Structure 1
Amino acid sequence: MADPSPYGVRAGAGTLRSGEGVALPHAWTDAGVLAAPASNGGQVLHLAVALCVLNDTYREAARLGVPLAGVAVTADGGFDDAWRSTGIHYGVELDTSGDPDQVARLHEVVDEVAEIPRALRAGADVRRSAP
């Protein structure tokens, strides 16, 4: 991945859980997930992608029979002068003893099914509602 911008984030669990960040409970791991940083809206948007991909990696690995000891997902991107996203890219690091073909299939499946990336790719209308 390219050098991180001020909006770059990381979410990790299992053996790839880092020592710092916001601790979040996680259905797939006993110790939960550490996500960081989360100090501005761009980072929170990117964390939504990273956390979704991390969660779906665990879910799909269990379904496909790919053993996982740890997962870390980085996500980053930029914004133009009107604060429109210029795109989000993510990377996945796995601690696995799985067969390389199984692992490649896992990455493909997660990229297809991860809900937050899918929603962002499709576009979303965001509006303020009345209280």
Structure 2
Amino acid sequence: MRNLLIWLLLAQPLHAQELMSPAEFAAFADGQVLGFSVSSGDLYGTERYLPGQRVLWSTPNGRCTGGDWFARGDRMCFRYDDAGQDKCWLFFRTGDTITGMFEWNWAKPIYVEVIDETEMFACGKLS
């Protein structure tokens, strides 16, 4: 919580955004393929949200990895099968716009949107 308060003080432009709870983000993402992009519009990656709190992450170069998501306080955390460390995010909503802030890089927002999996998702379908 202390980190969140410090971050909110430093991130003045984001103060109008509403922090999404992990449950709100899960409801938004459930069954979707989400695209994550940086402010320049370059795609950072895509992620399919599967049943049982599973995810399948894909980078633009086609690298795919599975994982699990879980709530840790007000953060959504991801534990990928090929990574040793949890990756936790805060997600914010402003109208129809969703922004994610990675806990190790609060200064770089990632924009989140539901995408058409047939055009952008590099990994095969898993259920």
Could you say whether these structures have the same fold, taking a TM-score greater than 0.5 normalized by the shorter chain as the test? no
Greater percentage in helix:
1
Higher strand share: 2
- Length-normalised TM-score, structure 1: 0.24
